[in-house]
Amino acid sequence: MQIENLFIKRTKELPADATTSGHKLALKGGYIHQTGAGLYTYSPLGFKVLQNIEKIVREELDAVGCQEMNMPVVSPLSLWKETGRESIDVLLKFKTRAGIDAVVNPTHEEIVTDYVRSILQSYKQLPQSPNSLCLYQIQTKYRDELRARAGLIRCREFMMKDAYSFHTSWDDLNNFYNIILNVYHKIYDRLGMKNVIDILAPTGDMGGKISHEFQMVSEIGEDTIYTCSECDYRANKEVLTDKDADDILVCPKCGKPLNKLRGVEVGNIFQLGDKYTKSMSVAYTDENGKKQIPVMGCYGIGVSRVFGCLLEQSEDESKAVFNMAVAPYKVHIISIGDGEAKVLAEKLYADLTSAGIEVIIDTTDDRAGSKFANADLIGAPIRAIISPKNIEKGVFEMKYSGLLKEYSEQISINNIFDGVMEIIKKEQ
Ligand SMILES: [Zn+2]
């Protein structure tokens, strides 16, 4: 990509509601455009990051046998009446021209359960963990929130990965639930998210028995989390206030003091049991020919919120920091001045592109300072800077700026392609 062709708007005058560094960076860097309150358009640059996040989520879920599918954005209200959820507050309802009461789905338990009941007959279709039946999608959701904030952190429309598993027993559900819990940690690790912890969570509107939230510990978070100073007890404030309203500062497990933190929820998992399968009459025939109701789990990751969190953890509102897997471009080539620097830059760009590397190149006449500032906003971990001064010395400057480290090297100009490829391999 030639930087001058990248069709994005770098917002200079930030709106008053952009109070967090991540929200400011999202607008300054041209990753998102606010279409309406709580409604964002992902620019060609922002959409690349979103797709890279999705790719990691897909790879890890596919690796444990989850099956990707796609369900409609809109569903008939009648499905929500079956489970008694037709009145939950975030549900956006409308009537179609044909007179059908419909919902813009904030989540898909009813829709996936309807799909499963149309197919499920035998216990043989519900293999045991680790091969349990788990269906997922990555799709736009809409929640009719009263207030939106912090850009991608709390929007009305957002991108979500939602997965649903079905089991013949609570034991099997529990085993699979623990597999997904570990998969989630692997996903957040690969995304380069720092400080994500799993905590006990309230079950709320979802019903069911056990639930965990994955929280990115951060001052900008809306959730209050308590972690034990001694044992592994970690919980959302709502769990503690449910059970122990008088004395919320002491660990219910070991009695030691609890630490109070703030967090942004980036994922949640629930053991739903038969709440949906029972009310929607899902059944299968067991080994003895008897009708049974399957139990269910559901597993969400707020994909666009993860994007917002990655920008938050960059901390500097003028500098995006991504790991190689998530960065919109892996290499950013900058040439200073015309002549040989430009020729070398274009040659490097062609060679890296042929090798399948996502590269952005800046051979414009802009001042060097403004080129570097744009490179900071785009966040490619590797920068190759080619200037006449360095060409004289027979080198170019290679800067690496990743999540945990920064370094720069001078590499021989004769070795320009191999030099960059080596860093790509090393930092992957
Ligand atoms: Zn404790």
What residues are neighbours of ligand 1 (ion), with CB under 5 Å? 228, 230-231, 233, 251, 253-254, 256
pLDDT value of position 242:
59
For helices 340-354 and 416-427, the axis angle rounded to 10 degrees is 50
Q: Is the peptide bond before 130 cis (omega within 30 degrees of 0)?
A: yes
Q: How many angstroms does the Cα of residue 227 sit away from the middle of ligand 1?
A: 8
Confidence of residue 252 (pLDDT cuts 50, 70, 90): confident
pLDDT digits (tens, 9 = 90+) for 15-37: 888 999 999 999 999 999 999 98
Q: Do 283 and 390 fall within a single domain? A: no
Find the length of the chain.
Answer: 428
Q: Do 272 and 388 fall within a single domain? A: no
Q: Is 352 part of any domain?
A: yes
For residue 147, with 0-12 CB atoms within 10 Å meaning exposed, 13-18 middle and 19 or more buried, which class applies? exposed
Q: How many angstroms does the Cα of residue 249 sit away from the middle of ligand 1?
A: 11
Q: Do 304 and 337 fall within a single domain? A: no
Q: CA 387 to CA 345: how far, in whole Å?
A: 10
Which domain, by its residues, includes 386?
331-427
At residue 164, does pLDDT exceed 80? yes
Q: How many angstroms does the Cα of residue 30 sit away from the middle of ligand 1?
A: 44
At residue 243, does pLDDT exceed 60? no
Q: How many angstroms does the Cα of residue 225 sit away from the middle of ligand 1?
A: 14
Q: Do 296 and 358 fall within a single domain? A: no
Q: Is 325 part of any domain?
A: no
Q: Is 319 part of any domain?
A: no
Q: Is 364 part of any domain?
A: yes
Q: Is 323 part of any domain?
A: no
Q: CA 422 to CA 324: how far, in whole Å?
A: 13
Q: Are strands 92-95 and 32-36 parallel, antiparallel or unpaired?
A: unpaired
Q: Do 356 and 411 fall within a single domain? A: yes
Q: Is 7 part of any domain?
A: yes
Confidence of residue 207 (pLDDT cuts 50, 70, 90): low
Greater confidence (377 vs 252) lies with 377
Q: CA 210 to CA 200: how far, in whole Å?
A: 8
Q: Do 275 and 352 fall within a single domain? A: no
Q: Is 246 part of any domain?
A: yes
Confidence of residue 417 (pLDDT cuts 50, 70, 90): very high
Q: Do 163 and 75 fall within a single domain? A: yes
Q: CA 3 to CA 20: how far, in whole Å?
A: 27
How many structural domains compose the chain? 2
Q: Do 223 and 363 fall within a single domain? A: no
pLDDT digits (tens, 9 = 90+) for 318-369: 999 999 999 999 999 999 988 999 999 999 999 999 999 999 999 999 999 9
Q: Do 302 and 344 fall within a single domain? A: no
pLDDT digits (tens, 9 = 90+) for 88-144: 999 999 999 999 999 999 999 999 999 999 999 999 999 999 999 999 999 999 999
Cβ 382 vs Cβ 330: under 8 Å: yes
pTM of the model: 0.95
At residue 246, does pLDDT exceed 80? no
Q: How many angstroms does the Cα of residue 234 sit away from the middle of ligand 1?
A: 8
Q: Do 300 and 396 fall within a single domain? A: no
Q: Is 279 part of any domain?
A: yes
Asked which of 313, 342, 369 is the last residue of a domain, the reply is 313
Q: CA 285 to CA 297: how far, in whole Å?
A: 20
Confidence of residue 206 (pLDDT cuts 50, 70, 90): low
Asked which of 313, 343, 378 is the last residue of a domain, the reply is 313
pLDDT value of position 154:
84
The CATH number given to whatever domain includes residue 376 is 3.40.50.800
Q: How many angstroms does the Cα of residue 229 sit away from the middle of ligand 1?
A: 7
Q: How many angstroms does the Cα of residue 199 sit away from the middle of ligand 1?
A: 13
Task: Give me the chain's average pLDDT, please.
Answer: 94
Q: How many angstroms does the Cα of residue 258 sit away from the middle of ligand 1?
A: 7
pLDDT value of position 247:
55
Q: Do 58 and 117 fall within a single domain? A: yes
pLDDT digits (tens, 9 = 90+) for 254-289: 989 999 999 999 999 999 999 999 999 999 999 999
Dihedral, 146, 152, 158, 161 alpha carbons, nearest 10: -130
pLDDT value of position 146:
84
Q: How many angstroms does the Cα of residue 248 sit away from the middle of ligand 1?
A: 12
Q: Do 230 and 303 fall within a single domain? A: yes
Q: How many angstroms does the Cα of residue 250 sit away from the middle of ligand 1?
A: 8
At residue 149, does pLDDT exceed 90? no
Tell me the average pLDDT across 413-419.
Answer: 94
Q: How many angstroms does the Cα of residue 244 sit away from the middle of ligand 1?
A: 14
The CATH number given to whatever domain includes residue 99 is 3.30.930.10
Asked which of 313, 340, 360 is the last residue of a domain, the reply is 313
Q: How many angstroms does the Cα of residue 367 sit away from the middle of ligand 1?
A: 57
